[in-house]
Amino acid sequence: MTDYLALAQSVVQQAADHGVEVEAIITHDAETQIKVSGGEVEQLSQASSRGLGVRVIDGGRTGYAYTSDFSADSIERTWRAARDLARVATADEYRALPELTPISDEDLEIWDARLPDVPATDKIDLLKRVERATLDYDPRIILADFCNYGDSINHVYLANSRGFAGQYGRTTVFSYLMGIARGEDGGMVNAFGMGASNFFDELDPVAIGREAGEKAISILGGKPVETQTATIVLDHVVGAEILSALAQALSAGDWQRKRSFLLDRLGQQVGSDMVTLMDNGRLKRGIASAPFDGEGVATSATRLIDEGVLQNLMYDSYSASKDGKTSSGNAQRAGHRSLPRLGPSNFYMQPGHLTRDEIIKGVDRGLYVISVMQTGGIDPISGDCSMGANGLWIENGEIVGPVGGVTIATTLNDFLQNVSQVGGDLRFIPMFGVIGVPTLRIDNVTIGGTK
């Protein structure tokens, strides 16, 4: 078996002999994708890939080249191409490889040793059970659409000319589908069910399927309410969509480009004391966890907003160099073909202690939002936030019926300020990155319905 870390180090040594900074990354991946419809396998694909990417930095000028051919000639052509590209690139004084940092050997529990040996038949059976759980939930569920399973087995080997050399493996598995329900009047609604983990045995097919069915049936027949200002309670998927915009607004790179509604508010109270936002690349069993980031910097837990006060931003080595800061280990890599880029890892709202039902019980009048459709959208630059919504109406702490055809409108600034309760049911949603969110109560939101 090829020692890929030794190979990456060898590439660095060959290219660094020419007086430049060099980084080599090798990725070796395998993935499975399955789609089921009507109890039959509609799609099954299994693929594996490997590749080498070489980054050369010469006086702040960057060149990058990659290959999937591991012959000696191809590898030499690749690092020479990266070196030649660096010679003609535009110099950037802040562009350099990061300083060497110690990497903890803590077990992050992101590797499922069983997954490589799970037969495709077991994965298909799991997905069929997901679909069946949705269709069996209620006879008004007419279709389980987009019923998918996927997994990935990733190995990363990284070395650079500053002395870094490291490797890790990570497994991820997920399944999702959309339950479609039709009422007696012919009206139809849809809702998602999903699950994701680092471990195959942690996927619960019945829970995933029932979630889609239960949510779809609950909002069936929804009608608009009168336009008003009221409380909203956000389901996990809806909350994750909003938090993904907050993650962008808390990126140092976006601040440096003047593209955040939070610009220049470090140290200020930007939210209620219920709001604590974290980015944690070292979260145990985190879907985006890793011992080091995409350029060899140790990952870390960064408290971005602490009880409403904006404390930190997310940095990679480039943005940190521009601000005179230290990288928070947030350089992300999409395989061997890509340069490192600044982005969140496991980004989440610190959970509280209440259950969803306890939060709903405390609402005098409001909307439990189960699904949204982009209308005005969510803008992390201006902070505007407007979405079409379906959900359940709450009166005196009780759910009284479905609501549909309304809009919810606020700003991200008001969203942060008006978070009044945070549930203890933290859940990570991989649809918009890896975003973790508990049930959230937000006050003083405009609900647009009938006049």
The DSSP bridge pattern shows strands 228-234 and 331-332 to be unpaired
Q: Do residues 348 and 426 touch, judged by C-beta distance below 8 A?
A: yes
Q: What is the pLDDT of residue 377?
A: 87
Shortest CA distance to 327 belongs to which of 335, 318, 336?
318
Rounded Cα–Cα distance for residues 200 and 209 (Å): 16
Q: Do residues 265 and 310 touch, judged by C-beta distance below 8 A?
A: yes
Query: Is 33 exposed, middle or buried (CB count within 10 Å of its CB: 0-12, 13-18, 19+)?
Result: middle
Q: What is the pLDDT of residue 52?
A: 98
Residue 286 DSSP code: -
Q: Which helix (H) or strand (E) holds 377?
A: strand 365-378
Q: Do residues 350 and 278 touch, judged by C-beta distance below 8 A?
A: yes
The arrangement of secondary structure in 4-216, i.e. its CATH architecture, is 2-Layer Sandwich (3.30)
Query: Is 168 exposed, middle or buried (CB count within 10 Å of its CB: 0-12, 13-18, 19+)?
Result: middle
Q: What is the pLDDT of residue 375?
A: 65
CATH 3.30.2290.10 positions along the chain are 4-216
Rounded Cα–Cα distance for residues 14 and 170 (Å): 29
Q: What is the pLDDT of residue 18?
A: 81
The torsion angle over the Cα atoms of residues 67, 73, 77 and 79, rounded to 10 degrees, is: 80
Question: pLDDT under 70 in the chain at which residues?
Answer: 1, 375-376
CA–centroid distance for 1 within its chain: 33
What Cα–Cα distance (Å) separates residue 51 from each residue in 14, 33, 76, 158?
18, 21, 14, 12
Shortest CA distance to 231 belongs to which of 410, 9, 99?
410
Q: Which residues of 205-243 are buried (b: 16+ CB within 10 A; e: fewer)?
A: beebbbbbbbbbbbbbbbeebeeeebbbbbbbbbbbbbb
